[in-house]
Amino acid sequence: MALVPMRLLLDEAAKGNYAVGAYNVNNMEQIQAIMAAAQETRSPVIIQASRGALKYSNFIYLRHLMLAAVEENPDIPIAMHLDHGNSLETCKKAIELGFTSVMIDGSLKEDSKTPTTYEENLDVTLSVIEYARPLGVTVEAELGTLGGIEDGVGSGKVHLTDPDQAEEFVEETKVDALAVAIGTSHGAYKFKSEPKLALDLVREIHQRIPYTALVMHGSSSVPQDLVEKVNRYGGKMPNAMGVPMSAIQSVIPYGVRKVNIDTDGRMAITAAIRKVFVENPEKFDPRQYLEPAREALTQLVAQKMRDLGTAGHAGEIMPKTLDDMIEYYKKYGLL
Ligand code: G3H
Ligand code: 13P
Ligand code: ZN
């Protein structure tokens, strides 16, 4: 069994100064592709499910698909992570399903739209820590709100994570990982003209909380060859733009240990399926378009694993259970 708490992967990444990709999954082909990439590159991996993904799969299917990945790949350390949990209840449900890690996104209210106050974020994060830590489950929180620097929600730096607050928040909550807002956003349309990110802020935050893993959400690069391929085969993704991999690589030395990627995978799948439909309109067996899609995603993720420095590290990691983590938290005064 190589199902491990996410904290173990983050700690190992800190030791080796690399980042681990956290790839969103919704179905069997995505999970298989990510695991094939992890095998090909010998990488530890975080497979994460959003609330939407869990609902889409009726919870139980995704749980079993993720556990199938663990069973089939005993030599790859895998963390099962809840992406953007919006309440203590959601996190509890994920933990009951067997997730070894949860994110409580207390930066937004339960509607996942309205920003919370710092105190509200602190309260809900503390409630999740209180529940998850005695179980050895990793907790990721978020400070600041995702969004483009130029997109005018509030003004100037209002979205961005404040380093003073980050220090205070980590001191109070002792979270395992903190998602920081530095100008990235979810989806394929992150910037209007050119990428604009507050990369220096990562270094500033890392100086204040050097022992806390930082997380970059909204880290898809939206590769232009994929945009072009989607559009060539009948799609419509005008002006899609993402975060250059070089920007992500530049902040890995400043404590970024988890890099969230969903959109690029969706695009790789969509482009491959569109190509089959246009070039072979007679095909109707789902395997004939899902197989190329799965292969395209495998190649995309394998490249991410090489670019993030995750490749080659799977064999170095001595698996730990949630019980081991409980001991770890006790030893370091975190429980
Ligand atoms: O958080 C954003 C991820 O890309 C998940 O997206 O909520 O559409 O599954 P989703
Ligand atoms: P992208 O939309 O950039 O892939 O980000 C995914 C993400 O942050 C999931 O939490
Ligand atoms: Zn996210």
- Render pLDDT for 149-197 as a digit per residue (tens, 0 to 9): 766 544 444 589 999 999 999 999 999 999 999 999 999 999 998 999 9
Residues 6+ positions from 234 with CB-CB distance below 8 Å: 274, 277, 278
Residues 6+ positions from 145 with CB-CB distance below 8 Å: 107, 108, 115, 153, 159, 181
pLDDT at 155: 47
262 lines ligand 1 (CB under 6 A): yes
Separation of alpha carbons 80 and 76, rounded Å:
13
Query: Which segments in the chain show pLDDT lower than 50?
Result: 153-157
pLDDT at 126: 98
Give 262 Cα–ligand 3 centroid separation in angstroms. 9
Nearest 5°: the CA angle 307, 311, 313 is 140
Ligand (nearest to CA of 22)? 2
**262 CA: nearest ligand 1 atom:** 4
160 lines ligand 1 (CB under 6 A): no
107 lines ligand 2 (CB under 6 A): no
Residue type (1 letter), 176: D
pLDDT at 151: 60
Torsion of CA 50, 145, 207, 244, to 10 degrees: 70
221 lines ligand 2 (CB under 6 A): no
Nearest 5°: the CA angle 253, 164, 46 is 45
Q: Are 274 and 230 contacting, i.e. CB atoms less than 8 angstroms apart? A: yes
Nearest CA to ligand 1 atom 8: 52
Give 37 Cα–ligand 2 centroid separation in angstroms. 19
Separation of alpha carbons 175 and 212, rounded Å:
8
Give 262 Cα–ligand 2 centroid separation in angstroms. 5
Query: Nearest Cα to 199, choosing from 164, 150, 247?
Result: 247
Q: How does pLDDT run across 48-73, given as a tens digit for each residue?
A: 999 999 999 999 999 999 999 999 99
12 lines ligand 1 (CB under 6 A): no
- The helix/strand/coil state of 87 is coil
pLDDT at 154: 44
Separation of alpha carbons 24 and 179, rounded Å:
16
